[in-house]
Structure 1
Amino acid sequence: MSLAYVIVGLLLLVFGGEFLVRSSVALSFKLNISKMVIGMTVVSFATSAPELLVSLQAAIDGSPAIAINNVIGSNIANIGLVLGVTAIIAPIAVSKDFYKLNWPVMMLFSVVLYYFLWNDGVLTRNEGMILFLGLIVFLVVLIKSAKNTNDSDEVDEKLAGAKYINIFIWLLLGGAALYYGSDLLVVGAKDFAQKIGVSEGVISITMIAIGTSVPELSASIIAAVRGEKAISLGNLIGSNIFNISSVLGLTSIIKDIPVTEQQILNYDIFWMLGFTFAILPLVFLPKKYELNRLKGLVLFIGYLIFIYSIF
C-alpha cells in the first residue's frame, strides 16, 4: 500500500505542477508581465512547487531527512539524469552566461547550503532568510542582464488568451493535486522506507528526487526528439538554484530543518557538490560551449554510479 501511495503521490505532483505552471503563466499574461520575466520568475517558482510542498510536508511531519535530501537528490538528478539524457539525445549549446553568472551562483548556493548544515547540523530560520534573499538578488541581476539580450525562456503564448474561469480551475486543480500529492508521497515514502529497511534519506534522494524531476526530464526528452530547442543548461541551473534558495529557504523559515541522518553531510551532499562542479570542465573540455553525447554519457553514468552506491 505504501508503494501505491508513493506512485499516486508522484502522479499528483506531476499533474499539479503542470496545472500550476499553466495557471501562473496565463495569469501573468493577464497582468501584462513580460514573457521574459514570466519565464525567469513565475515558471521557475511554479516548477519548484512539487519540491517545496514535499519538503515542507516532510519537515512538518517530522521527517527532516526527506526535506533536505529531496532537494539534494533533485539537484543531482537535474544534472546527472535530466541533463545527461538530454545531451545524449541531442547536443546542448552553452552560452557565455553559464560561467559569467549561472554556474558561479549555483556553486555558491551549494557551498553555502553545505556550510549552513555542517556548521551546527540544522538549517535555521535566519539561514533560510539568507538563502531566500540571495535568490531575490540573483533574480534582479538575471533580469537586468537578460534585458541586454534577445534570449528569453520559452513560454507558451497561447495561454495569453486563457479565460479567467479556466485560470481559476487550473489553479484550484494544481493546488489540490500538489497538496494531496505531497501528503501521500511523504506518508508512503516513510512507510516504504521502514518496510524495506532503508533510511528515509535514501528513499528521498532516489525515488522522491527522481519523481519530482520527471516533468523536467519528460520536457527535455520530447524537445530533443522533436529536434526543437532542448531545455537549456541555464534553465536546469536555475532550477537547482531555486531548489536550494526557495524550497529549503522557505521551508526552514517556516520550521527549522535539522540534519537527522549523518549520511547527508558525510556523503549525499558531496555528490551534489561534485555534480555541480563537474559541469564546468565538461563545458570547456574538449570542445568549448557544448555538451555533446559523450559528455552526456559521462553525466548519466555518474548518476547511475551514485544510485548504485546509495543502495
Structure 2
Amino acid sequence: MSLVWIVLGLLLLVVGGEFLVRSSVSLSFKFNISKLVIGMTVVSFATSAPELLVSLQAALDGSPDIALGNVIGSNIANIGLVLGITAIISPLSISEDFYKLNWPMMMLLSIALYFILQSGLIINFIEGLLLFVSIVVFLYILIKQSKKKDIMDMDIEEVDDALQKTSNFKIMVWLLIGGSALYFGSEWLVLGAKELAMSFGVSERVISVTMVAIGTSVPELAASVIAAVKQEKAISLGNLIGSNIFNIASVLGLTAMIHPIALDSQKLLTNDIFWMIGFAAILIPFMLLPKKFEIGRLKGVFIFGAYLVFIYLTFTGE
C-alpha cells in the first residue's frame, strides 16, 4: 500500500504543479508583468511548489529527515540523474552565465546549508529567512542582467503566450485544482515514504534521498529526455542549477520560516550533503576539460554512474 500512496502522491504533485504554473502565469499576465520576469520568478516559484509542499508536510508531520532528504536528494538527482542521462543522449553546451553567477550561487548555498546544519543541527526561522532573502537577491541580479541582453536570447520559452487570454473563472479553477492536488499529493507521498521505510526496515532519510527525490525529479527528467531524443534544445544546465538554488533557498527557507527543520539523521550531514556538494563542484572541471564549455556523452556516463553508486551506497550503508 505504501507504494500506491507514493505513486498517487507523485501523480498529484505533477498535476498540481502543472495547474499551479498555468494559473500563476495567467494571473501574472493580468497584472501586466513582463514575460521575462514571469519566466524567471513566477514559473520558478511555481515549479518548486511540489518540493515545498512535500518538505513542509514532512516537517509538520515530525519527519524532518524527509523534509531535508527531499531537497538534498533532489539536488543530487538533478545533476546525477537528469543531467547525466540528458548528456548521454545529447551533449549539453554551457553558457557564460553558468560559471559567473548560477554555479557560484549554487555552491555558496550548498556550503551555507552544511554550516547552518552543523552549527545547531536545525534550520530555524532566522536562517530560513536569510535563505529566502538570498533567492530574492539572486533573482533581482538575474533579472537586472537579463534586461541588459537582447530579449531574443532569453530562455523564457516555458511562458506560454496563449495564457494571456485565460478567463478569471478558469484561473480560479486551475488554482483550486492545483492547490488541492499539491496538498493531497504531498500528504500521500510523505505517508507512503514513512510506510515504505518501515516495511523495508530502512530510515526515512534513505527513502527521501532516493525514491522521493527521484520522484520529484521525474518531470524534469521526462522533459529533458524527450527534448534530447527529438534533437531539440534539451533542458539547459542553467535551469537545473536554478532548480537546485530554489530547492535550498526557497523550499528549505520557506519551510523553516513556517516550522523549524531539525536534523535527525546524522548521515544527511556526514554523507548526503557531501554528495550534493561533490556533484555541484565537479561541474567546473567537467566544463573545462577536455572539451571546453560542453558536457558530452562520456562525462554524462561518469555523472550517471556516480549517481548509481550514490544510490547503491545509500541503501547498503544503512
User: Normalization by structure 1: what TM-score?
Assistant: 0.98
Deviations 1:256-291 (A, max 9, x none): 111101111110111001001011111111111111
Shift of 1:31: 1.9
Structure 1 match to 2:69? 69
Shift of 1:162: 2.0
Shift of 1:163: 2.1
Shift of 1:164: 2.0
Shift of 1:205: 0.4
Structure 2 match to 1:11? 11
Structure 2 match to 1:99? 99
Greater displacement, 79-88 / 54-63 = 79-88
Alignment of 1:180-219 (within 5 A): 180-219=184-223
SS for the counterpart of 2:282 is helix
Structure 1: unaligned runs, 5 residues or longer = none
Greater displacement, 47-56 / 220-229 = 220-229
Separation in structure 1 between the aligned mates of residue 221 and residue 165 of structure 2, nearest angstrom: 28
Deviations 1:157-198 (A, max 9, x none): 222222222222111111100000000111111011011100
Separation in structure 1 between the aligned mates of residue 118 and residue 67 of structure 2, nearest angstrom: 16
1:241 maps onto 2:245 in alignment: yes
Structure 2: unaligned runs, 5 residues or longer = none
Separation in structure 2 between the aligned mates of residue 169 and residue 278 of structure 1, nearest angstrom: 44
1:168 maps onto 2:158 in alignment: no
Separation in structure 1 between the aligned mates of residue 234 and residue 300 of structure 2, nearest angstrom: 13
Separation in structure 1 between the aligned mates of residue 235 and residue 81 of structure 2, nearest angstrom: 13
Separation in structure 1 between the aligned mates of residue 16 and residue 284 of structure 2, nearest angstrom: 33
Alignment of 1:1-311 (within 5 A): 1-150=1-150, 151-152=153-154, 153-154=156-157, 155-311=159-315
Separation in structure 2 between the aligned mates of residue 283 and residue 31 of structure 1, nearest angstrom: 40
Separation in structure 2 between the aligned mates of residue 220 and residue 287 of structure 1, nearest angstrom: 22
SS for the counterpart of 1:168 is helix
Separation in structure 2 between the aligned mates of residue 97 and residue 112 of structure 1, nearest angstrom: 21
RMSD: 1.0
Shift of 1:7: 0.9
SS for the counterpart of 1:251 is helix
Greater displacement, 224-233 / 95-104 = 224-233
Greater displacement, 288-297 / 130-139 = 288-297
Q: Letter of the aligned partner of 1:187 in structure 2?
A: L
Shift of 1:35: 1.4
Separation in structure 2 between the aligned mates of residue 171 and residue 286 of structure 1, nearest angstrom: 47
Separation in structure 1 between the aligned mates of residue 24 and residue 293 of structure 2, nearest angstrom: 33
Separation in structure 1 between the aligned mates of residue 23 and residue 227 of structure 2, nearest angstrom: 22
Separation in structure 2 between the aligned mates of residue 32 and residue 92 of structure 1, nearest angstrom: 34
User: Normalization by structure 2: what TM-score?
Assistant: 0.96
Separation in structure 2 between the aligned mates of residue 261 and residue 293 of structure 1, nearest angstrom: 35
Q: Letter of the aligned partner of 1:205 in structure 2?
A: V
Separation in structure 2 between the aligned mates of residue 91 and residue 17 of structure 1, nearest angstrom: 28
